[in-house]
Structure 1
Amino acid sequence: MTEMFTRIDERHGGQHGRTAVVQYLRTDVADLCQSRFGSEAEHREALGLAASVAYLCGWKAYDADEHGLAQRYYLQALALTREAGDYIHEAWILRIMAHNGMDIRRPENTLRLAESALDRVRGRVSPSTEALFAVTRARALAVNRRRKEAATQIREAQDLVLRGEQSDLPYWAALWGSARATVSSHTGKTFHELGDHRNAERHYETSARSRPRDGNGYQRITALTLAAQGREQAAQGHLEAACATWGQSLNLLGGVRSARVAKQVSGIRRQLGVFDKRGVRAAADLDERARDWQLAYA
């Protein structure tokens, strides 16, 4: 059930099926956690699965721009992993809390969270899994203006993910797709924080290429990655290239309902207004497509 709900979330955005996931957590999953089990190992496994559902509810709240509610779900997931005694899964929740703080521009505790998560897993998980934590610390270092340490941590994360295999990821990490695509995306975010638009663009492009575009999944994250890539191209003055990339992003957005995507489309339209005044031919047509999407989904 969690895998199914996660696939739906990635394909259609966080607002699609949100009520169903919350109800599933409050009824079926809550009842499961209060059941009797044949062994303590089965009980711990059930708590871990419940944590994954709570995590997904938090993610959906975050995608709806409801950050206080998202934090409450993440804290619930954290409590479940602690009750299960799974310190590696607990680290995964700390990691998303660090990213959440950075995404909403509240970085006060993000480096502490990222370092605490990485400390829990370092040397205890596969290289591909550790890479997901290492790149989180790299981004937190960049947000805190520790440039040299961030660059060093990026190299470590990239080395780890190249040595690892996707099949080595724990189920709760594998739910969210390719480790290499995720590391590339967060490396792009790290370089954006460092003001290095060329490298940010390159890593966003790598991330987008690493995800399928066949209409069967990952529409939202790929569209957001392409939107970010276009932003980095625009920052370098590559206006025609930015329009082409944003056009690819819009191609993926049919049926996606997400507050984060709606913000990105609004941001694209603001920049397209500037491009149109500069005589960029593609800007007006692309702005019309973005407007149509807003009318349908925003």
Structure 2
Amino acid sequence: MQGLELHRPEHCLGLAETGLNCAKGQVDAQTEALFRVVHAHTLAKNGRRRRALTEAEHARTLLTAAPGDEVPFWALARGPPGVSVYSRTAKVHEPLGDHRAAAEQYALAAAARPAGTYARIVALDLVAGAEMHLKRGSIEQACATWHRGMDHMGGVRSVRTRKAVFRMRGDLARLRPRGLRCVAELDERGRDFLCGL
């Protein structure tokens, strides 16, 4: 996954395929779903649209196939498998240009996490969803989603949340000339958040 975050997907495809092939038949359905959605993400980042969407759908199907299976502790590092599959599925849709589907998956991921847990991850999923709304031209929905993301940032101190707020303010700067109240209020909240760090 580090290779994807460093924008070097060509180095990840073989690893994801090998991991998936090793996992098939050796792990429960929910854990296999995690391997499949990571594979789907690498396919999407490498421009293999049809295979990426097929693999992402297979991952979602596996989630519902055996919801009561025991999941190994290492597969729970980022929370329940379903949540990780939603978030990673959003990352499949994003490079394929389906911002509506990506926003929906980020929203599902944020809503599915147990209340009061993973505040930073929930905030970042909501911020990513807001960015998808903005790419679709849904400014008010983007602002509302960013506000929800910031609601989860209270008490969270991380470089990633700080960068997310900086990025948000940069996006809002381009919208300020429109005079939208939601933009002005969110920009002020972002400024206050950054000043409080």
Written as runs of structure 1 = structure 2, the 5 A alignment for 1:188-227 is: 188-213=90-115, 216-227=116-127
1:290 aligns with 2:190: yes
Q: Considering only CA atoms, is the larger Rg found in Structure 1 or Structure 2?
A: 1
1:182 aligns with 2:67: no
Kept in 1, the 8 Å contact 2:29–2:69? The answer is no
User: Could you report, residue by residue, the CA deviation over 1:63-95 in whole angstroms, capped at 9, with x for unpaired residues?
Assistant: xxxxxxxxxxxxxxxxxxxxxxxxxxxxxxxxx
State the match for 1:235 in structure 2. Answer: 135
Counterpart amino acid of residue 74 in structure 2: W
% same residue? 40
Deviation at 1:184, TM superposition (A): 0.5
| Aligned counterparts of 1:123 and 1:189: Cα–Cα separation in 2 | 25
Alpha-carbon RMSD across the aligned residues, in angstroms, is 1.3
Aligned residues: 197
Counterpart amino acid of residue 93 in structure 2: F
Counterpart amino acid of residue 58 in structure 2: E
Pick aligned residue for 2:23 from 113, 116, 121: 121
State the match for 2:155 in structure 1. Answer: 255
Where do 5+ consecutive residues of structure 2 fail to align?
Answer: none
1:101 aligns with 2:3: yes
Counterpart amino acid of residue 37 in structure 2: V
User: Could you report, residue by residue, the CA deviation over 1:114-133 in whole angstroms, capped at 9, with x for unpaired residues?
Assistant: 11111110111110000000
| Aligned counterparts of 2:15 and 2:159: Cα–Cα separation in 1 | 25
Kept in 2, the 8 Å contact 1:276–1:283? The answer is yes
Deviation at 1:275, TM superposition (A): 2.0
User: Could you report, residue by residue, the CA deviation over 1:220-273 in whole angstroms, capped at 9, with x for unpaired residues?
Assistant: 000000001101111111100100000000111112122222221111111111
State the match for 2:74 in structure 1. Answer: 172
User: Could you report, residue by residue, the CA deviation over 1:39-69 in whole angstroms, capped at 9, with x for unpaired residues?
Assistant: xxxxxxxxxxxxxxxxxxxxxxxxxxxxxxx
| Aligned counterparts of 2:114 and 2:192: Cα–Cα separation in 1 | 25
| Aligned counterparts of 1:101 and 1:175: Cα–Cα separation in 2 | 19
User: Could you report, residue by residue, the CA deviation over 1:195-218 in whole angstroms, capped at 9, with x for unpaired residues?
Assistant: 1111111111111110134xx321
**Aligned-partner SS, 1:221:** helix
TM-score (normalizing by structure 2): 0.95
Where do 5+ consecutive residues of structure 1 fail to align?
Answer: 1-98
1:279 aligns with 2:179: yes
TM-score (normalizing by structure 1): 0.64
| Aligned counterparts of 1:116 and 1:296: Cα–Cα separation in 2 | 45
**Aligned-partner SS, 2:25:** coil
Runs of 4+, deviation exceeding 4 Å: none
Counterpart amino acid of residue 3 in structure 2: G
